[in-house]
């Protein structure tokens, strides 16, 4: 079984949309309520230490586990938030909110101790209404019922805008099961993402990458999104679609219109949805492009060599930050790695400090004077190199 996401847009009735929004608000309230309690106790203990109080005499610490936080919510919500019971909202949402907070606190503690990989993670922040409307349900409490409806606790059967028969058929015969779900509102529209344990054996077998197919090296860039050099000598250059760049004019006009509206007015809410729609269009176009490219590569290439790009450091260049973020290189690598596991191909990630661009593909000399502005360069051995093609060719040779 493979853990996989399955996302579909919903078409809720107005009353159902309001009910979903209530659950999203509940998720935010529970998260903030428990976080405020954790902060208060931590602050109290820190203050007591400054008074010289011994550790065994301090205010008892708060448990950071999901069950401990959920227990605190059950003990206090009747006095602080009586509307939770009065409105008949699902008890599954507070459970998931406590799990989210527990995970955030754990990540912060591990990051502070230096035992967590990746960038440092700060202390959890309070969630705001303007950050978006999301909520989660555990296990299969929310699940597809038919090819066009999804059951949501206390909300009812919500219609979908797309056919989910692919999933319902597999659930019916035991080839898949829902292990969780997440509801999200963006630009006034609702989506549900199911986390599914699914048997992909038959699907992967039909699309297994041919072992005698071409091995490729891929150099990623901004002007040319990907330069793909194969071991059979073919070179394919994929232009950068620049999804955000093409929508910047629309985005600026939408942001200006939003800034002119009175805060709290219905017109401002409408203008905010227009801004969200532009961002949503950009995100959808980028996701569609990356999914099509990575699926094609992993289904046809037995070995793919890519770079280990330090994207977090590269975006510090203020002149290139927007273009780098718009490209989505990190998402490309993520998709390549999990799809390669599906279709039997291999992804090789070059060492981050491997000078693929500066190395002459003919004699192997390294050109330390090469700058970002140099699109072509000549080696003392007489070879003239195109920057991107040379990098892709050098990456390809790592597969040998």
Position 262 in a domain: no
Q: Beta strand pairing status for 224-230 and 216-220?
A: antiparallel
Provide the number of structural domains found in the chain: 2
Residues 385 and 294 in one domain: yes
184: containing domain: 2-198
Residues 227 and 193 in one domain: no
Residues 105 and 138 in one domain: yes
Residues 240 and 375 in one domain: yes
DSSP 57-112: GSPPPPP-SHHHHHHHHHHHHHHH-THHHHTT--THHHHHHHHHHHHHHHHHHHHH
Position 285 in a domain: yes
Residues 233 and 357 in one domain: yes
Cβ atoms of 144 and 153 closer than 8 Å: no
Can you tell me the distance from the alpha carbon of 25 to that of 187, in angstroms, rounded to the nearest whole number? 17
Given the residues 70, 184, 219, 326, the one annotated as active site: 219
Task: Determine the pLDDT at residue 342.
Answer: 94
DSSP 8-class letter at 7: E
* C-alpha distances in Å from residue 65, one per residue of 70, 106, 294, 386: 9, 9, 38, 55
Task: Determine the pLDDT at residue 37.
Answer: 94
Token pair 């907070």 is found at 101
Position 290 in a domain: yes
- CA 343 to centroid of chain Cα atoms: 22
Categorise residue 272: left if φ over 0, alpha if ψ from -120 to 50, beta otherwise. alpha
Can you tell me the distance from the alpha carbon of 57 to that of 18, in angstroms, rounded to the nearest whole number? 48
Position 375 in a domain: yes
Query: Is 307 one of the catalytic residues?
Result: yes
DSSP 8-class letter at 131: G
Position 156 in a domain: yes
Residues 74 and 185 in one domain: yes
* C-alpha distances in Å from residue 110, one per residue of 39, 114, 119, 380: 17, 6, 11, 50
Residues 371 and 285 in one domain: yes
Count of other CB atoms within 10 angstroms of residue 174? 8
Query: Is 386 one of the catalytic residues?
Result: no
Task: Determine the pLDDT at residue 356.
Answer: 87
Among the three residues 166, 198, 230, which one is the final residue of a domain in this structure? 198
Residues 143 and 236 in one domain: no
Can you tell me the distance from the alpha carbon of 236 to that of 227, in angstroms, rounded to the nearest whole number? 6
Categorise residue 88: left if φ over 0, alpha if ψ from -120 to 50, beta otherwise. left
Categorise residue 377: left if φ over 0, alpha if ψ from -120 to 50, beta otherwise. beta
Position 187 in a domain: yes
Query: Is 212 one of the catalytic residues?
Result: no
Strands of the 303-306 sheet, one edge to the other: 235-239, 224-230, 216-220, 303-306, 346-349
Task: Determine the pLDDT at residue 312.
Answer: 83
Per-residue b or e along 206-238, where b marks 16 or more CB atoms closer than 10 Å to that residue's CB: eeebeeebbbbbbbbbeebbbbbbbbeeeeebe
* C-alpha distances in Å from residue 221, one per residue of 273, 314, 323, 338: 33, 12, 10, 22
Cβ atoms of 158 and 149 closer than 8 Å: yes
CA-derived radius of gyration, the chain: 26
Nearest to 183 by CA among 83, 93, 277: 93
Count of other CB atoms within 10 angstroms of residue 15? 10
Can you tell me the distance from the alpha carbon of 60 to that of 213, in angstroms, rounded to the nearest whole number? 63
Q: Supply the pTM of this predicted model.
A: 0.89
Position 265 in a domain: no
pLDDT tens track for 14-28:
999 999 999 999 999
In the chain, DSSP assigns E strands to 2-9, 133-138, 143-146, 149-152, 156-159, 176-186, 189-198, 216-220, 224-230, 235-239, 303-306, 346-349, 376-378, 384-386
Residues 19 and 153 in one domain: yes
Position 111 in a domain: yes
Among the three residues 198, 228, 255, which one is the final residue of a domain in this structure? 198
Below-50 pLDDT ranges, the chain: none
Can you tell me the distance from the alpha carbon of 45 to that of 281, in angstroms, rounded to the nearest whole number? 48
Among the three residues 167, 198, 229, which one is the final residue of a domain in this structure? 198
Given the residues 70, 96, 184, 307, the one annotated as active site: 307
Residues 149 and 233 in one domain: no
Q: Is residue 120 classed as helix, strand or coil in its secondary structure? A: coil
DSSP 212-231: TSPPEEEEE-SSEEEEEEET
Task: Determine the pLDDT at residue 352.
Answer: 87
Residues 100 and 142 in one domain: yes
Residues 395 and 298 in one domain: yes
Q: Is residue 296 classed as helix, strand or coil in its secondary structure? A: helix
């Amino acid at each position: 079984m493979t853990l996989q996401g399955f996302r579909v847009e919903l078409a809720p009735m107005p009353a159902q949309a309001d009910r979903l929004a209530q659950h999203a608000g509940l998720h935010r309230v529970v998260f903030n309520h428990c976080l405020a309690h954790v902060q208060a106790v931590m602050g109290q203990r820190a203050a007591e230490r400054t008074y010289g109080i011994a550790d065994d005499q301090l205010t008892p610490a708060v448990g950071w586990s999901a069950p401990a936080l959920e227990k605190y919510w059950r003990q206090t919500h009747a006095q602080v938030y009586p509307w939770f019971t009065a409105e008949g909202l699902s008890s599954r949402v507070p459970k998931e909110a406590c799990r989210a907070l527990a995970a955030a606190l754990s990540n912060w503690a591990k990051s502070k101790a230096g035992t967590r990989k990746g960038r440092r993670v700060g202390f959890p922040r309070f969630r705001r209404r303007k950050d978006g409307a999301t909520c989660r349900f555990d296990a299969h409490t929310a699940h597809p019922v038919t090819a066009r409806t999804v059951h949501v606790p206390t909300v009812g059967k919500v219609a979908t805008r797309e056919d989910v028969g692919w999933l319902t058929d597999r659930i019916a015969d035991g080839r898949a099961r829902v292990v969780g779900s997440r509801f999200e509102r963006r630009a006034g529209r609702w989506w549900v993402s199911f986390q599914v344990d699914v048997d992909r054996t038959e699907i992967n077998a039909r699309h297994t990458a041919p072992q005698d197919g071409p091995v490729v090296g891929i150099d990623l860039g901004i002007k040319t999104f990907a330069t793909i050099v194969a071991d059979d000598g073919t070179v394919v250059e994929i232009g950068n679609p620049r999804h955000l760049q093409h929508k910047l004019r629309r985005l600026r006009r939408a942001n200006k219109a939003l800034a002119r509206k009175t805060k709290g007015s219905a017109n401002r809410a409408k203008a905010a949805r227009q801004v969200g729609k532009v961002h949503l269009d950009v995100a959808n176009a980028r996701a569609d492009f990356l999914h099509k490219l990575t699926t094609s590569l992993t289904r046809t290439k037995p070995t793919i060599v890519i770079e280990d790009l330090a994207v977090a450091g590269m975006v510090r260049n203020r002149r290139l930050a927007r273009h780098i973020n718009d490209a989505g290189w990190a998402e490309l690598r993520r998709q390549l790695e999990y799809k390669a596991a599906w279709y039997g191909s291999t992804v090789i990630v070059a060492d981050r400090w491997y000078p693929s661009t500066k190395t002459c593909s003919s004699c192997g000399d390294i050109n330390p004077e090469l700058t970002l502005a140099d699109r072509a360069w000549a080696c003392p051995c007489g070879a003239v190199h195109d920057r991107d093609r040379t990098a892709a060719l050098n990456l390809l040779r790592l597969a040998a």
